[in-house]
Amino acid sequence: MWACVTSIGLKGMEGYRVNVEVSTYIGNDSFKIVGLPDAAVKESKERIMAALLSLGYIFHGQKITVNLSPADQKKMGAMFDLPMVIGVLMSLHELEVSVPKEVGFIGALSLDGAVQSVDGLLPAILAAKKLGLRRLYIPLDERLPPLDLEGIELINVNSLQDVIGHLSGQWQPSSFSKKIDETGNCDFDYMDLRQVIGHGKAKHALEIAAAGEHHVLMTGPPGCGKSLLAWRFPSILPALTKEAQLEVMSLYQLGRADHPQSKVPPFRNPHHSASGVSIIGGGQYPKPGEISLAHRGVLFLDEIGEFSKKTLDMLRQPLENGQITISRTHATITYPASFILIAAMNPCPCGYAGSNTHYCTCSPKQVHFYQNKLSGPLRDRFDIHLGLGPVDFEAAERKKEEASEAVRKRVEEARLRQYNRYGKQICNSRVPYETLMKTSPLTEGQQRTLNVLLNKKGLSNRAQIKIIRLARTISDLERSPCITDQSIAEAIRLNSGTLK
């Protein structure tokens, strides 16, 4: 006999419908799985037979064939255990129910029939909703974030018996209602911008970066506060929305990394010895790297000059596109990687080039080689170039530092203006240039100023566009409906690194 049930396959963050087709007929005892299964899927037959035997089902003289359709997609992981065992029971008439195509199953089986969680469960649930499934049987997993998804019913089960009982109308799951806390769990208290003494201009530049999602390169001697500013930067970013929080946690699940159920934007700080694969993502079966784990948040590269040049140049595509495509023999997968890059570096290998208090021991050749670790195309992708120096503590202590909460409110207001202007949640640094110019055209005088600057300093077209994007963000913070001359002048100083 023949039966078919629905499951979800994953290709990166994208999910696709998998039809689990089961055919059984009298013959020599055998169990075969086809449809490009990997080793974990092939081993499902042993788990399925053991689970069925533990529940009292005994099969003799049955030839079972399971086809995972579409047959040209590689199937990975143990998430197909549950749909396969349901298909087997239906095809053998041990389970006399009708299962619509809008009902899906995800879960791994233990040998005693318990249903266990799998890697990528959250992105599979979100994919099922997007594909139009109305009901999904999933393992009960307390590590999942609170879910309240419209249009899809989630049935949390602990065992195969629970699934059979619910399909037969003999068991109902206990109430397991969790909702996302709309007020948010945003604990920014442990990292506040007011803990940084001085650096008023640098803080204002970071506020602009947060409002428009602009990338920042900070240069200065050791101990001047570069890392301190970067670590407190997430505290001025808006809290993650419900959709963004689920997206971030999905990436962390796929990367097998822990992430707290918090609305604080993610902050990743890989060491400069990290490999290109760990930062970009990859492996034989590609997993998300640091740039994807920093999605919707911040990637901080401290001592960026110490990273390998090859690794740094790999960042060029995600910085432009907000995603990374990884091609391997087994699969080509695209992961989201829309993050704000904060980088810090010393002016030279010893760190004291141009200092008035320390003697620089580096030769001009060493300084040139160190600075060239950042290629021209990569430098060009930084919107803001900040030069930092030592702080005058006597003058700074007399001035009261502004808390992150006040800055964050201004950032949220500026972002809301951008969302309303563009009709969707996109910031000035990522909106298409044509849309930017259509909604905020420059005056003839402003265009002449930029053309003179372009010819005088030899700036690239990309740098000119970044100046316009910066000016638009500065005007948003100033609540100006159009780009002002003052904002263009400040954007030029920020982009050229003359604002210290």
Q: Encode the chain (500 residues) as per-residue pLDDT tens digits.
A: 789 999 999 988 889 999 999 999 888 888 999 998 989 999 999 999 999 999 888 878 789 999 999 988 888 889 999 999 999 999 988 988 989 999 999 999 999 999 999 988 999 999 999 999 999 999 988 878 777 788 899 999 999 999 999 998 888 887 554 444 444 445 555 688 888 888 888 999 999 999 999 999 999 888 888 899 999 999 999 999 888 999 999 999 888 887 777 788 999 999 999 988 899 988 777 889 999 999 999 999 999 988 988 899 899 889 988 999 888 776 788 899 999 999 999 988 888 887 777 888 888 888 888 888 888 888 889 999 998 887 766 655 656 788 899 999 999 999 999 999 999 999 999 999 999 999 999 998 888 888 887 777 777 788 889 999 999 999 999 999 999 999 999 999 998 875 55
Of the candidates 144, 141, 87, the one whose C-alpha atom is nearest the C-alpha of residue 114 is 141
Query: Does 288 share its domain with 334?
Result: yes
Does residue 294 belong to any structural domain of this protein?
yes
Question: What pLDDT does 182 receive?
Answer: 45
Beta bridge partners of 65: 23, 32
Does residue 498 belong to any structural domain of this protein?
no
Does residue 489 belong to any structural domain of this protein?
no
Q: What type of residue sits at position 236?
A: I
Per-residue b or e along 259-273, where b marks 16 or more CB atoms closer than 10 Å to that residue's CB: beebbbbbbbebeee
CATH number at residue 110: 3.30.230.10
Query: Does 87 share its domain with 51?
Result: yes
Q: How many domains does the chain have?
A: 2
Query: Does 162 share its domain with 198?
Result: no
Of the candidates 295, 393, 377, the one whose C-alpha atom is nearest the C-alpha of residue 340 is 295
Query: Does 206 share its domain with 159?
Result: no
pTM (predicted TM-score): 0.86
Query: Does 155 share its domain with 242?
Result: no
Q: Is the peptide bond before 173 cis (omega within 30 degrees of 0)?
A: no
The residue segments making up the domain with residue 384 are: 193-431
Of the candidates 433, 457, 435, 449, the one whose C-alpha atom is nearest the C-alpha of residue 484 is 449
Does residue 468 belong to any structural domain of this protein?
no
Query: Does 127 share its domain with 228?
Result: no
Does residue 493 belong to any structural domain of this protein?
no
Query: Does 407 share its domain with 298?
Result: yes
Query: Does 224 share its domain with 343?
Result: yes
Question: What pLDDT does 269 receive?
Answer: 94
Residue 228: in which H helix or E strand, if any? helix 226-232
Q: Which two tokens stand for residue 444?
A: 């003839």
Query: Does 106 share its domain with 198?
Result: no
Cβ(113)–Cβ(22) under 8 Å?
A: no
Residue ending a domain, among 408, 431, 454, is 431
Distances (CA, A) of 34 to 68, 69, 110, 301, 430: 6, 9, 21, 45, 43
Does residue 125 belong to any structural domain of this protein?
yes
Does residue 438 belong to any structural domain of this protein?
no
Residue ending a domain, among 152, 167, 182, is 167
Beta bridge partners of 300: 342
Question: What pLDDT does 231 receive?
Answer: 92
Cβ(316)–Cβ(275) under 8 Å?
A: no
Question: How many angstroms separate the CA atoms of 216 and 379, rounded?
Answer: 10
Residue ending a domain, among 431, 448, 470, is 431
Query: Does 211 share its domain with 359?
Result: yes
Torsion of CA 391, 395, 398, 404, to 10 degrees: -30
Does residue 478 belong to any structural domain of this protein?
no
Query: Does 218 share its domain with 309?
Result: yes
Query: Does 228 share its domain with 137?
Result: no
Question: How many angstroms separate the CA atoms of 67 and 324, rounded?
Answer: 32
Which residue in this structure is represented by tokens 């029939």? 113
